[in-house]
Amino acid sequence: MARRTTSNSPGSSPGSAGSPGPRNRTPQPLPRRRRTVGDFVKAFLAFVALLVLLVGVPGALAVQIGWPLPSGAPTTEWLQQEITVDTFINVLTVVVWLAWAQFTACVLVEMKAALSGVGLPNRVPGAGPSQLLARQLVAALLLVGAAAASFTPGLSQLGQQLEGNQRPAVAAAAQQTPGGLLAQQQAQTAASAAALAEQAAEAAAHAEGGGAHASEDATKFYRIQPPEGRHHDSLWEVAERHLGDGRRYKEIYQLNKDRAQPDGSKLSEASLIRPGWIMEMPGDARGGELVEMPDEAPKVSPDVQRQISDYARTGGAQEQGRPGQQGAGRQDGGSGARDRDTAHISLPEQRPGQGHEQGRQGGQEHAAPAAGEGGGFGLPQALLGAPLLAAGLLGALGRRRRQALWQSALGAVGGRRGMEPPTPTGAAADAQDALLVGADPEGVRLLDRSLRGLAASLAGESRPLPTVYAAWMGGNGDLHLQLAQPAGRPPAPWQLGQDQTFWMLARADAERYEDVDTAAPYPGLVSLGTMDDSRLLLNLESVPGIVSLSGREQDRAGVFASVAAELATNGWSDRMTITLVGFGEDLTPLAPNRLRHLDDIEALVETMEAETRQRRGALGAAGHDSVLTGRTGPAQHTRWAPHLVLLAAEPSAEDAVTLAELAADASRLGIGYLVGTQSGDLPGAAWEMEITSEGKLLAPLLGLELDAQLLPVSQQRAVVELFTDADPDRDDDRPTPTPPFLVDISEQGRPAVYARLVGPYEIIGLDTPDGERSPLLHEALALLLLHREGVHPRVLSSALWPRGVTDDVRDALVERLRAWLGADPDGTPRLAADATGRLKLAKSVVSDLDVLRSLYHEATQGRGAGSRAVRGRLLTDALVLVRGPLLAERPEGRYGWLTHEIIDAQLPLLVADIGLALSAFHLEKDRAEKAIEALDAALGSAPADERLWHELLRATHATGDSDRLKRLAADLVARSGARGLPPRTEALLDELLPTWRSGVAAAG
């Protein structure tokens, strides 16, 4: 049992431990934004630039060049004159005059829109960059003349002010980490942080309420614009245009959250807005698209005026539901919080620049639902917001699908199940898209290499691995390890962090790590959630006892499922056992070799008593103090693999005591326990956590309040469905899957656009795009061609920009791609969105891979199945299409998304099946040379397929040329290297050429 401490220990301050909240909750005065010298400088420079461009350029042309056009009508003699320097200068002058006229029109349009205060600026044809420059110059010029000299501070400014006040509190708590913290000091730190949070909530509510309590004369509104000739509007862009900072989109979201819109729907996600919606704006908003009621009501239509008036009346009801007024009084973290000596998990101090960098999604910030059920753009937020979990699931799913493909290769040639895995639909398709968007495989790779590199460096210095309680992954990619106690200076390139209990590795240093052959040092790390742009991974294996989790059953289930799924599929562990009790029977398909489900607590106690005795004996026999000292020696992945127990069912008092006794020595043995409890009072719990209905993970005595990482039941089912559909051993009555897209292979089916992907990338039927965007457009088209079922826009942006991109850049690319592909003769665009919003190509856009699949399908399951002549012709045509590997010679640094695909495994198998089928076709008529020719062609794209080599041996044997067969056997032996020939290949050679062993030895 953990020791208890009294509440009146020395050093405690009044109100720190006993009082429910801080003594002083008065909000600090908010700063008023005033015009700075920089604003005046920008305005002056903008005025000078406009003066030069609007007046200086035409003046210089008139004075220096004069009239550039001919004085009379052109004649034949004039057209036949020699082109001189003066002629060239005159032509260039005309071009400059036209550019000046276009820019002047842009300035006038932007000036009119900015001064009128209503409506979007008109688009000047063909003046994209010019209009953007004019908009920036006009905005800078009008900055000092606008009525925004004394902005009301928004939430973003409030957050910046409070951030400076909150950091010292967090840092102070972190500095006290060595040696542990007294419970009273921990409670005082938590109360101080809660006071700051409540102060921020009150100030935010006051700032938000000001717009509702004020008269309608001071209230401004914005109407979401339709995507006519432009990308879709977003709150980020609205905030950028009218508040000067896109990050202030949260203020607009909070002002309008859950208010009924004109179409009856409500704003529930900051990323989901629709044309025609009304947005109440902060008081300092400015710009030409705003409507100020009722003064400017005549400038809009009566319908819009009525909609705005109706919407304005819904603002008062928002006061009671504003975020920031809820939960501020929760100072103790729940009924389970008790004073006791325990480890303290602290947030690392922010490094310079941390917190200002966008995460993997770049500018795509979205407000996450409380319980993780919903998601932006129709995708589940629970998976979008869990990059390490998503990367593990995505990698495991890819391995499962490849396993299914290779197992299907052992079946009969033609028509076998598994060549085309089922295409996910519904919730499973959304889950797969969310995995593709949310996954951070690079983060997993760096974490794994960093931890193994640390273990190898410590082993080289004959130093033991320190006990690590937690790891923090910062928003800028830095990794912080929080140690249980000081362990000296870390090996380079690791550095000491804020104190002796933090080891820190910068991302730039982590990227220089190479793969090392050593055991994973901390396989029990698992993500729990985020705090201040940092992700916490708790090391369940190192906890000196049980970790308890209290809260509602459905909320606890989301945490347990997330922990189980990440532990089962993560990339920084070698091998482990995860025992699930009281839940998770359906999760075992994720990793059957890691996940084990037990029926009840009695079976768990029996199992863990035996394993605890076995591990104690093994450690004693090996002479190790703990599994950590064993892991720094030669890699023994299986002997010291961790065992993590996840018990969702609340144990009885007797069982809890038994588990506590088993867990007392668990951290030394590599065993961890996470146990659920309804009450929050679990005997023997070393660390106590609580999950709230709002999705917060609280551990006051550990100093934690996280946005929890959850895997709700609906997402569990969708993810499990992806794995069960890909199970190679699944025996069901489903029909043989057909290719996802069959083309008309007759002469009448000639496509409008034809892309060659099997081999070097070529496109026929389209002009090559000019400029540096051409590679990006080609890559986007390749992704769409490989996914005829459709590609979610967020999957497209995640594939092309894995480090993140804003929505407007993605939408601009889609529009360029749509314009490049054009339309069919009937006017149908060749790129369109389906009912789910996924981008799909028209049937007139075809790739050689589509044709290859269609030819093989028709040869084996269509017309070729009943006609030998047709089958031979179709198979021959298919093999001619194979020019090499998929997308050969692709630019380095691009097409990284192919690592998540299984097409790299599908294509060689497909080519091998075609070669085998064509070889059998020729051998039926004793045409051995033709069969050998077909097999050689297939081996060019599938050189590792053992089936092709077997058929090549048989075809060569059919020629009767024993010397040729000996040379082929020698070539096979040379290719196999030190591993030697596979057993089945050796057996075939023994049958066809009994003397092959002596012949190879003689040749050697």
Secondary structure of 235-262 as H, E, C letters: HHHHHHHHHCCHHHHHHHHHHHCCCECC
Lookup: tokens for 641 = 């693999």
Torsion 851-856-859-865 (CA) sign: negative
Q: Judge contact between 670 and 641, C-beta under 8 A.
A: yes
Residue 31: its pLDDT value, please? 36
Please report, for residues 155, 248, 371, 382, 558, the alpha-carbon distance to residue 707 in angstroms, rounded to integers and kept in the order given.
Answer: 20, 21, 10, 11, 13
Residue of 343, 336, 332 whose CA lies nearest to 191: 332
CA distance 726 to 595: 18
CA distance 227 to 204: 32
Please tell me the chain's helix, strand, coil percentages from 3-state DSSP, rounded to the nearest 5: 50, 10, 40
Lookup: tokens for 382 = 């629970």
The residue written with tokens 């070799």 in the block is: 593
Q: Judge contact between 836 and 790, C-beta under 8 A.
A: yes
Q: What is the dihedral of CA 843, 847, 851, 857, to 10 degrees?
A: -80
CA distance 574 to 627: 14
Which regions of 643-731 does DSSP assign to beta strands (E)?
643-647, 671-677, 685-691, 696-699, 704-708
Q: Which residues contact 275 (CB under 8 A, 6 or more apart)?
A: 224, 225, 226, 227, 233
Cα 514 to chain centroid, rounded: 24
Q: Judge contact between 844 and 824, C-beta under 8 A.
A: yes
Crossing angle between the packed helical segments 928-939 and 903-923, to the nearest 10 degrees: 170
CA distance 531 to 534: 5
CA distance 350 to 822: 49
**Residue 325, exposed/middle/buried by CB under 10 A (0-12, 13-18, 19+)?**
middle
Residue 847: its pLDDT value, please? 93
Residue 733: its pLDDT value, please? 53
Residue 142: its pLDDT value, please? 67
CA distance 695 to 558: 10
Which helix (DSSP H) or strand (DSSP E) does residue 956 occupy? helix 946-958
CA distance 510 to 494: 9
Q: Judge contact between 896 and 801, C-beta under 8 A.
A: no
Cα 678 to chain centroid, rounded: 33
CA distance 803 to 816: 21
Lookup: tokens for 194 = 């809660």
Residue 55: its pLDDT value, please? 84
Q: Judge contact between 445 and 387, C-beta under 8 A.
A: no
CA distance 664 to 484: 16
- Backbone region of residue 841 per phi and psi (left: phi > 0; alpha: psi in -120 to 50; beta: other values): beta
Lookup: tokens for 531 = 């705090």
CA distance 626 to 646: 22
CA distance 608 to 664: 13
Beta-carbon-side half-sphere exposure of residue 779 (alpha carbons within 13 Å): 22
Q: Judge contact between 859 and 874, C-beta under 8 A.
A: yes
**Residue 627, exposed/middle/buried by CB under 10 A (0-12, 13-18, 19+)?**
buried
Predicted TM-score (pTM) of this structure:
0.62
CA distance 396 to 570: 9
The residue written with tokens 């009912």 in the block is: 835
Please report, for residues 225, 525, 792, 793, 957, the alpha-carbon distance to residue 360 in angstroms, rounded to integers and kept in the order given.
Answer: 28, 21, 17, 16, 57
Residue 295: its pLDDT value, please? 57
Number of helical (H) and strand (E) elements in the chain, helices listed first: 32, 22
CA distance 39 to 48: 14
Radius of gyration of the chain from its Cα atoms, rounded to whole angstroms: 34
CA distance 107 to 995: 88
Residue 731: its pLDDT value, please? 56
Residue 778: its pLDDT value, please? 93
3-state secondary structure of 144: coil
Beta-carbon-side half-sphere exposure of residue 181 (alpha carbons within 13 Å): 24
DSSP 8-state secondary structure symbol assigned to residue 938:
H
Angle at 499 between CA 494 and CA 504, to 5 degrees: 25
Q: Judge contact between 666 and 673, C-beta under 8 A.
A: yes
Q: Judge contact between 123 and 131, C-beta under 8 A.
A: yes
3-state secondary structure of 503: strand
Cα 109 to chain centroid, rounded: 40
Residue type, 701: L
Terminal CA-to-CA distance of the chain, rounded, Å?
71
Residues, the chain: 1004
Residue 804's CB is within 10 A of a number of other CB atoms, namely: 15
Beta-carbon-side half-sphere exposure of residue 962 (alpha carbons within 13 Å): 6
Pairing of strands 502-505, 525-531: unpaired
Q: Judge contact between 467 and 342, C-beta under 8 A.
A: no
CA distance 953 to 988: 8
Residue 528: its pLDDT value, please? 94
CA distance 437 to 73: 62
CA distance 479 to 388: 14
Lookup: tokens for 788 = 């005829």
* Positions of the chain with pLDDT under 50: 1-33, 117-120, 146-217, 229-230, 317-342, 350-376, 412-418, 635-638
- Backbone region of residue 344 per phi and psi (left: phi > 0; alpha: psi in -120 to 50; beta: other values): beta
CA distance 132 to 125: 13
Residue 269: its pLDDT value, please? 64
CA distance 238 to 264: 22
Residue 683's CB is within 10 A of a number of other CB atoms, namely: 16
The residue written with tokens 């993590």 in the block is: 644
Q: What is the largest CA-CA distance in the chain?
A: 111
Q: What is the dihedral of CA 499, 501, 506, 510, to 10 degrees?
A: 160
